[in-house]
Amino acid sequence: MASEQESAAVGVGVGEPMLSHGILVHGHPVDEETRCVHYHGRNDIVAIQFACCGLYYPCLHCHRESADHDVVRWPAARLDEPAILCGHCGAVLSVRKYVAVVGCPRCGSAFNPGCRAHYRYYFDLPGPDGGNPARCRPAAVDPRI
């Protein structure tokens, strides 16, 4: 039984959506550069649009904990559509562009290279990883950051 109203995508009480460069980032962001409670290292500055709801979340876990539906990975047919927000400068990259760079083409900020291992959980890309979201856990956060 759904306890939330259909319009409750924003502010359902389990997270605090936050504006980053004019884009509303859902889930559990902790700052305007889209770091979240799960990934908040220095380079964790992207938010990702999910195909299921069209909303931006900092990470898969934010989506899982806040959304009332399963993730639909960004489809291969839409890799050229803007879907990745650089929380540092507000540039929005296509998935195809994002997976081809190590940092933001506009501001030069480095992206977390560890995210590369998780692409299959977010994007319908060819790759060696089978992509079982149940196996995706937040990486240990570097306590020095």
Which residues here bind Zn ion, judged by CB under 5 A?
Answer: 36, 38, 50, 52-53, 58-59, 61-62, 67, 86, 88-89, 91, 104, 106-107
CB 49 → Zn ion: shortest distance, Å? 9
Rounded distance between C-alpha atoms, residue 76 and residue 79, angstroms: 5
CB 120 → Zn ion: shortest distance, Å? 17
Residue 61 or 128: the one with the smaller Cβ distance to Zn ion is 61
Rounded distance between C-alpha atoms, residue 82 and residue 111, angstroms: 17
CB 22 → Zn ion: shortest distance, Å? 14
From the list 112, 84, 103, the residue with the least C-alpha distance to 25 is 84
DSSP label at 110?
A: B
CB 61 → Zn ion: shortest distance, Å? 5
Rounded distance between C-alpha atoms, residue 123 and residue 116, angstroms: 11
Rounded distance between C-alpha atoms, residue 78 and residue 124, angstroms: 9
Residue 93, judged by CB atoms within 10 A of its CB (0-12, 13-18, 19+), counts as buried
Residue 91 or 136: the one with the smaller Cβ distance to Zn ion is 91
Residue 36 or 128: the one with the smaller Cβ distance to Zn ion is 36
Residue 72 or 76: the one with the smaller Cβ distance to Zn ion is 72
